[in-house]
Homo-oligomer: A and B are copies of this chain.
Amino acid sequence: MLSQKEIIQLFKDTREDSEKICSFLETEDYVVQPIENVSPPKWHLGHTTWFFEEFVLKKYAGSHELFDEHTAYVFNSYYESVGEKVIRTNRGNLSRPTVAWIYKFRKYVTEEMMKLLENNKLSKEALGVIEIGCHHEKQHQELLYTDIKYILGNNPLLPKYNDEFKENIIQDFEQEWIDISEGIYEIGHKSEDFCYDNEKGVHKKYLCDFSISNKLVTNAEFIEFIEAGGYKDVLLWHAEAWDWINEHKISSPSYWHKIDNDWHQYTLNGLIKLDLQAPVTHISYFEAFAFAQWKGMRLPNEEEWETAQEKFAWGSRWEWTESAYSPYPNYEKPEGALGEYNGKFMVNQKVLRGGSVATSKNHTRHTYRNFFHPQLRWQFTGFRLVK
């Protein structure tokens, strides 16, 4: 449990980080939404701010004056409970409120939050909600990176974001197999530190013997799969996956471009030659599974990953697992609006473990359960094999 002083630091850092991420953008980049999964950066900035005004200031800041009662509601993502204020147009169709308005909104809410935090001794409950708000904003920071990448990387001009962001981490060590023995293991979040509801409920899991790779699958290995005709061999794919790759004409990871017979990759630094030793990224679960089939291996399930993770490096790619996203035994859905958050997505999604180059610092942990539909590729996803 963080102290109020620690929360203050966490809050300040988090708010600054979001703005730092966006400091490389043009105003226009904040506005567009090329696909449904990608939100406009201005929406992320507004929504994370709305969260603090709605769930903290309104409740704990006594006489808080709303920044703009007629506008902020457009940043409510909990549409279902909004009722009469349903927004029909998509987020990417909203030119107003403007980016300048949103920065004013952020400034106002950040200052009001700082006043609240610095001038009052807050209850454990209030601090808990603020901590959640910070973690919520950190999640959106990761989405800011991946959504910005989608926006720029699908623009025909392929503009770069900046020169600093490093996507490709080299794994300069030998591939080895880590053996884990059959037996009962404990799964789930144990400490007092922050975690999400879906990680809670420590429980026992019986695992069989397995061996897991210490390395993520690399671009070089994935090119072998492509060149061996992996995308054309129906026996490697789930039935839904086969329909998907054919309908969308998928034949390589996302952001790959073949130019004069050489594979290139759009990165946040612009278009570069594909780094063969870097872990493959922007692939779907479907592709990870097909690759594993081709190798005669499989993906780990999430409990295997959690059990073995101490013994390998992770954090540059969200790693697909074989596990469907389901409640842990004794899962308890939190009360109220915040409770809607995780449970309602527990169908038709796969769990990813680890974290990525886009994950905010101190945001992930070895029990963290990320989840996406099996065909999604806009995150910095990757995978490792089990045999």
Contact = CB atoms under 8 A, between A and B. Distances in A.
Contacts of A184: 184, 206
Nearest to A285: B347
Contact of A92 (B92, B205, B344): B92
A208 interface: yes
Interface stretch (A54-62, A119-127, A149-157, A173-181): A149-157
Interface in A182-196: 184
Size band of the interface chain A makes with B: 35 or more
A87 B203 contact: no
A239 to B, nearest CB: 5
A372 interface: no
Contacts of A34: 89-90, 93
B155 A80 contact: no
Interface stretch (A4-12, A96-104, A105-113, A265-273): A96-104
Interface stretch (A133-141, A250-258, A275-283, A322-330): A322-330
Contacts of A347: 238, 240-241, 285-286, 289, 350, 374
Interface string A74-104: 1000001100010111101111111100000
A345 interface: yes
A172 interface: no
A199 B347 CA distance: 22
Contacts of A327: 298, 322
A93 B154 contact: yes
Given A31-B31, A96-B26, A159-B96, A154 B348 contact: no
Nearest to A346: B238
Contacts of A289: 347
Contacts of A42: 28
22 contacts: A27-B98, A27-B99, A28-B42, A28-B96, A31-B32, A34-B93, A88-B156, A89-B154, A89-B155, A92-B92, A93-B154, A94-B155, A96-B152, A208-B329, A235-B340, A237-B344, A238-B344, A238-B345, A238-B347, A240-B348, A301-B326, A348-B374
Given A74-B156, A88-B156, A89-B155, 15 more contacts: A27-B28, A28-B31, A28-B42, A28-B98, A32-B32, A80-B234, A89-B156, A94-B155, A94-B156, A95-B151, A205-B206, A208-B330, A322-B327, A323-B326, A348-B374
